């Protein structure tokens, strides 16, 4: 990746960590689930409204580091309107990207590609994936909370 593009991606993460989008509780959510990353102290609650098998709206609240906040912000933007199957494919591609396995090019990551640099910092992978683990557990309807440990 060129230096300019790398800088742009970092700007995107900084912007979303400072002004997170969809940072609110949804009223009467179909799904709500809390996630914790004890390694870093990140905490996120994910709210989802469904329409059939599609995500109508996703939002989050919580406190955490810049990476986890930006990841939750960009995730809630990215999954809006997507089917549960599409969300799962997006997660798999995102997970591959941040763990340095290379995102499957068959999935369009869009802005989520900004997290490519996380692969160089293994300790931050859980920060980036925490909101996704919470979202997946919420969609699976499994329990009230999830932890990365
Ligand atoms: Zn973190």
Map out the domains of the chain with their CATH numbers: 3-147 (3.90.1010.10)
Distance 106 CA to ligand 1 centre (A): 28
Distance 122 CA to ligand 1 centre (A): 11
Distance 73 CA to ligand 1 centre (A): 14
What is the secondary structure of 24-58 as a DSSP string? SPPSS-SEEEEEEETTTTEEEEEEEEEETTEEEEE
Distance 149 CA to ligand 1 centre (A): 13
Distance 40 CA to ligand 1 centre (A): 5
pLDDT at 132: 98
Q: What residues contact 104, with CB distance under 8 A and at least 6 apart?
A: 92, 93, 96
Q: Tokens in use for 136?
A: 């997946």
Q: What residues contact 43, with CB distance under 8 A and at least 6 apart?
A: 34, 35, 36, 37, 62, 63, 64
- Ion ligand 1: protein residues whose beta carbon lies under 5 Å: 40, 42, 65, 68, 127
CA dist., res. 94 & res. 97, Å (int)? 5
Do the bridges between strand 145-147 and strand 42-51 make them parallel or antiparallel, or are there none, so unpaired?
A: unpaired
pLDDT at 11 over 80: yes
pLDDT digits (tens, 9 = 90+) for 54-93: 999 999 999 999 999 999 999 999 999 999 999 999 999 9
- Integer angstrom CA distances of residue 140 from 53, 56, 68: 12, 16, 21
pLDDT at 30 over 70: yes
Average model confidence (pLDDT) across the chain: 92
Distance 39 CA to ligand 1 centre (A): 8
pLDDT digits (tens, 9 = 90+) for 89-122: 999 999 999 999 876 666 889 999 999 999 988 8
> What integer is the mean pLDDT of 2-9?
73
Distance 44 CA to ligand 1 centre (A): 11
CA dist., res. 69 & res. 13, Å (int)? 9
């Amino acid at each position: 990746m060129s230096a300019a593009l790398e800088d742009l991606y970092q700007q995107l993460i900084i912007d979303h960590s400072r002004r997170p989008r969809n940072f609110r509780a949804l009223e009467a959510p179909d799904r709500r689930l809390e996630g914790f990353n004890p390694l870093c102290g990140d905490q996120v609650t994910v709210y989802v409204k469904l329409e059939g098998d599609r995500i109508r709206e996703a939002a989050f609240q919580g406190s955490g580091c810049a990476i986890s906040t930006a990841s939750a912000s960009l995730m809630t933007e990215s999954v809006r309107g997507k089917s549960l199957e599409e969300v799962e494919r997006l997660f798999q591609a995102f997970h591959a990207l941040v763990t340095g396995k290379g995102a499957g090019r068959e999935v369009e990551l869009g802005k989520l590609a900004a997290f490519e640099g996380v692969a160089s910092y293994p300790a931050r992978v859980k920060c980036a994936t925490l909101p996704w683990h919470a979202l997946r557990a919420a969609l699976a309807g499994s329990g009230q909370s999830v932890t990365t440990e």
